[in-house]
Structure 1
Amino acid sequence: MKHCKGILAGLSLVMAMPTMAYGAAAQPAKVSLEIKGTDQTLQSVCNIGGNTYFQLRELASLMSKEMPFDVGWDASAQTILLEKGKAYSGSVPKINQITQEAVETKTPVLLSGESETFDTYRIEGYTYFKLRDLADALGFSVAWDDVANKISVTTADVSGQTPIAPGVYQDMLGHGMDVDWSKTNQGREYYTEKTAADFAAAGVDHVRIRIADEITPELLESLDKQVEDCLEYGIIPIIAYQADDFKNDPSDKNMKKVVKWWKEMAEHFEDTSYLLSFDLLIEATDELNKDSERLNDYFAEAVTEIRKTNP
């Protein structure tokens, strides 16, 4: 499977509950929602400031079988109660399908006992959340099909066999360390499977495997072993390139050299777990920080090459 985590770009979706400060026009929106391959009919969807918002209880009802979460309300604390893994059995309020006022507010949420705060809107006494916020919090993934005007919702597979939402991936990273297992020939010689096992036993959730050298068959062979061991012991592996020549001299020649490095690395790990990710540059130098356009150009070109094999 492709290794790069899923990316949500330009997608901001929300849902429904209570009323406060700044008013905005909420217009009825026509958006298709596909949950695990099945199209669902939505009654209470609206557009606020160019973003699509969903009513929380309606979404919970639609997802009760595939990705269940329950919704409750603590009136005394004015807090929404969300519980993962429990099917929603409450009612689905009907919202008038006309343009009406939405009031911006920050809604406190108790998510499986943990306190959270979300940026929301209230319409007719019901709170509307950003779908992406809920996806990150509840552990499901969201994708947008611009051609079909459709939103697809799937579960977040933490096994790495399917794409992972950015927020979910970030939460999974937990505690991590930089490691020099592949930075030098000596590091590669001393690395053993027990190294990864010991890191996992010590509670390390991810490692950033730093690399300074050019790509060689020997480097890839040792790197394959390290990535495989990390995944075996439940550690998220991140490949990080130092790119010293480019950082010290951000010329066109050196940038092309680094972009080519990532192109080859991405092709090599094309079919690896989605848990594997790439850190495109370790600590930018003063030279690069002074030239933000060059740094942005590098990221754009590197990501473009990587996406050719890791979409």
Structure 2
Amino acid sequence: MNLTQLTVFREVMETGSISQTAKKLNRTQPAISLALKNLEKALGLALFERKGRRLVPVPEAHYLLAETAGILDRLSTISTTMEGLIKGHSGSLNIATMPGPSAFLFPRFISQSVGENPEIRITLSSRSSPQIMELAGTQNIDFGFADFEYSFGRKPQYSAELIRADCFCAIDCEHPLASQGSITISDLDKTPMGGLHATHPFQRKVHREFQDMSANYNPTVTCQYFLPLIPFVSSGQCCTIVDPLTVATERELNLSNGKVVFMPFDNPLRYEYAILEPDHRPPSQLALKIKAGWKAEVLKMLKELKANPCTEWYGQEGGEQN
């Protein structure tokens, strides 16, 4: 007994005809007759009485039909489910992103990508970048999006696709520097500055840039991530160097009511994002689809900002790509 035989049997039960079953299944009448004959042989039971051109089922055939319908319907459900999984139209996804993009840009992308598809389940967590690296390393997420920090010592259990892009300086529109086409680190000497916590890798990078230019870094406001700094900038309390996705978020949300301008640097200060992928957790088709879509969305936004993005793999062989 096999699925082909059961499929033929169910259609014959519904049509009562070999010829109609052959048309419906797009097969020849001899092939239908042979499948039915082999099924009866396997069961040791004649399932139909032949009356003219019609086949009349015996009582046992009705019991077999009930069992067959359950098997074939279940198989159809499995086939449909697998097709959805393969095409990325169904499944579950566990993603972690750093606070900035998780406030607006990433949820917007996910909602547009998934739409109203009830077959997709999304778990989206907002975590610090070290926490996201830990989740990726312990294989507890499908992928993550974070600030990147190089790992020293033991090899990390994840791969990272880096996206590098130019930073900007957020300045109150009435600030004297706002009239310039671009600025330098030296222009910010002794200027009240907002920034991230001193232990953040980007903040350490900013401090090095000021030291290299013999400029005095004057921190007056410290936040966990960039977006909360924008109100302080718009009120004229400080300037701040921000990542380009913060610029994209502000342009979308206009938190400052147009009171903040974003200035490029003469000598670009680069920011590094990372799309983190666990090494030992094979990605689903849905995860591959969403991850590729998010990468394309990020690169699109960065190009629109003229932030000069490029990508590079970390954790496996590969070179930088423009």
TM-score by length of 1: 0.24
TM-score by length of 2: 0.23
The answer to which structure has the higher helix fraction is: 2
The answer to which structure has the higher strand fraction is: 1
